[in-house]
Structure 1
Amino acid sequence: MKNILVTGRPGVGKTTLIKKVIKDFELDAGGFYTQEARKGGIRQGFEIVTLSGKRGTLASVNFNSPYRVGKYGVNLRDLEEVAGGAIEEALEKNSFLVIDEIGKMELFSEKFIFLLKKALESSVKLLGVIKLKDNQLTSEIKNRPDTVVYTLDRANFHLVEEKIKRDLGDQEK
């Protein structure tokens, strides 16, 4: 499959799995992942980290924005510049694109949605994380004929990891 996506509840290891697969396969990958931003052990928001090392704030309890998910204000500027820039760069330069994640915060951005659709239609292989609870767009993505979606939970981490590695191994042939 061209597009390999992982879904699951928060905290089951989706980002950890994506990072492990990239490292183990030494993929020619560009893109980004998200991680918690903590202060004093308390989650303050979420950070965007590109595979080339650039960073931005995806959302923060201290960020004033009309785009909100719970207590977090979403930073569309960093999302579009840092994550969007990483997507554009990967589509030009890499064999694989990592998008972690296709979630509620990211889907506030029309530019992100445009780049996501462009990536799905491109020849670049996509390895990503997609939100568990569907809306129309995520349902359409999950049901694409060129896309496989694995649901991760704490019990099946290694099984899903092996399936993804098998899928990637098949693509290398």
Structure 2
Amino acid sequence: MPNILLTGNKQVGKSTIINKIIEDYPGGVCGFKTVMKQTPRRQFFISEFQKSAAIIANSVERTRSYPLPPISSTFDNEGATILKRCFIQSPELIIMDELGLFENRAFYFQKLVHKGLNSDIPILGVLKDKPSRFLNSIRDREDVEIIRVSEENRNQLVKIVMSKLLND
């Protein structure tokens, strides 16, 4: 089964591609997404599709941007719960949008990500374009295809990725 991870610059359309694929995907989909919300301070959340969100990182004050202190326990608790639920449901596709630097110390979550990649269920996700031990461990896998998204190719990638997922 294909494991396809999109990478590229910020705001180039990686999550938009995933959302469009989910809309037309013929089988069951399970997984998570991370989103940023600008409240009085910048906060990042992990969210199961259409479910509640849990904070994974937040800035100390609105004017500070990086580095944001990650909350690893959120991945090891809420993130792990989402992935374990996916393994039980056994959907036709698991979404991991996005795998990044906040997970560097969430070792249980990392283990479950690799369990997903080892499974017979295809993974579609986003891999942050930064080096880290965790992200590199995913890049080094032979069963992962990494596709770089750019402004030039993003409009064609929905069809290309969908075809790969459906083995057309």
Partner of 1:20: 20
Q: Does 1:97 align with 2:79?
A: no
Please, which runs of 5 or more residues in structure 2 have no aligned partner? none
- Map of 1:71-86 to 2, 5 A cutoff? 71-86=67-82
Q: Give how far 1:149 is off.
A: 1.0
- 3-state SS in 1 of match to 2:69: strand
- Map of 1:15-164 to 2, 5 A cutoff? 15-39=15-39, 44-62=42-60, 70-93=66-89, 94-164=91-161
- With normalisation by structure 2, the TM-score equals 0.86
Residue 47 of structure 1 aligns to which amino acid in structure 2? F
Contact residue 73 and residue 106 of structure 2 kept, 8 A: no
Write out per-residue CA displacement over residues 123-154 of structure 1, whole angstroms, 9 at most, x where no aligned residue. Answer: 12111111112334433422433221110122
Q: Give how far 1:163 is off.
A: 1.4
The number of residues matched between the two structures is 164
Moved more, 137-146 or 78-87: 137-146
C-alpha distance in 2, partners of 1:139/1:71? 20
The structure carrying a bigger strand percent of its residues is 1
Residue 144 of structure 1 aligns to which amino acid in structure 2? R
Please, which runs of 5 or more residues in structure 1 have no aligned partner? 64-68
Contact residue 90 and residue 96 of structure 1 kept, 8 A: no
Runs of 4+ in 1 over 6 A off after TM superposition: none
C-alpha distance in 2, partners of 1:134/1:77? 21
Identity %: 24
Contact residue 5 and residue 150 of structure 1 kept, 8 A: yes
Q: Give how far 1:52 is off.
A: 4.7
Moved more, 8-17 or 71-80: 71-80
- 3-state SS in 2 of match to 1:11: coil
- With normalisation by structure 1, the TM-score equals 0.84
Query: RMSD between aligned alpha carbons?
Result: 2.2
Contact residue 31 and residue 83 of structure 1 kept, 8 A: no
C-alpha distance in 2, partners of 1:32/1:134? 22
